[in-house]
A = this chain, B = another copy of it.
Amino acid sequence: MEAVLLDLSGVLYVGERPLPGAREALERLRAGGLPLRFLTNTSRSTRAAVAARLARMGLEVPEAEIFTAPRAALARIRARGLRPMLLVHPGLVPEFEGVATEPADAVFLGDAGEAFTYAALNRAFRLLMEGAPLLAVGRNRYFREPDGLSLDAGPFVAALEYAAGVEAEIVGKPAPAFFHAACADLGVPPARCLMIGDDVEADVAGAVSAGLQGLLVRTGKYRPGDEARLPPGALVADDLAQAVARALALARVP
């Protein structure tokens, strides 16, 4: 094991607070010399805003180490010359500055939160019925907020897929291309990368399917029994501190 990929929300922090011991665990991981990348389907803010928010929590993560699903979508939208309807959170809109969106010939769906109105979903539905492709950050079911679990983008992907009889193109986790882009950026083969996350499907099963090693932490959105849905060979740790100890052992860092 030569490199570590980490999910952000639910692994390093929940809401606006770092998880207990997360800051120290991250420092220990960095001290071990393993190259890191942070992979998130979070899509309520730009990559710059994600880095700034982590800094406010005392979590040092350079912007260049952060891979966000919306940035992957942006690259795909530009490569294909799409004009997407942006069904996204207002905080994410600046990420798509300069991208033509009218007349729309595609739908890009992020975790839009309150922006998931009936009118917006209906407009997206009608575009899909005309043959527009549906790009989505991921299929994540929910995430943990300080006051409880909240709906992520996945349920709204499921709604539009069901309504229009189409299948979304997932650009973030668990799409293998997303993991592979991070591994390529590190220059480390997927089989020698460990992905740490709190989402069984998007983080752990996704990583394993893409040929990486996967580790589930029992923090964030974790709920007892999630282990039953893990793929064979996946690892489990109580929190980031334990996950880091495991990663350093696998990497034979003394």
Contact of A148 among B126, B142, B158, B160 (CB under 8 A): B126
Q: Is the CB of A118 within 8 A of B116?
A: yes
Contacts of A121 in B (CB 8 A): 116, 151, 155
Contact of A117 among B114, B150, B162 (CB under 8 A): B114
A187 CB to nearest B CB, Å: 37
Q: Is the CB of A149 within 8 A of B162?
A: no
Complex CA gap A121/B117 in Å reads 11
Q: Is the CB of B162 within 8 A of A155?
A: yes
Complex CA gap A142/B163 in Å reads 7
- Chain A, range 122-157, C-beta contacts under 8 Å to B: 122, 125-126, 129, 141-142, 148-151, 154-156
For the complex, is A159 an interface residue (Cβ under 8 Å from B)? yes
Task: Count A-side interface residues using an 8 Å CB cutoff.
Answer: 30
Q: Is the CB of A158 within 8 A of B162?
A: yes
Please, could you name 29 A-B residue pairs with CB atoms under 8 Å apart, sorted by A?
A112-B118, A114-B117, A114-B118, A115-B118, A116-B117, A116-B118, A116-B121, A117-B118, A118-B151, A121-B155, A122-B150, A125-B142, A125-B149, A125-B151, A125-B155, A126-B148, A129-B149, A141-B162, A141-B164, A141-B165, A142-B163, A151-B159, A155-B160, A156-B159, A158-B158, A158-B159, A158-B161, A158-B163, A159-B159
11 further A-B contacts with Cβ under 8 Å, apart from A117-B118, A125-B150, A126-B148, are A112-B118, A114-B118, A121-B151, A125-B149, A125-B155, A141-B163, A141-B165, A142-B163, A158-B158, A158-B162, A158-B163
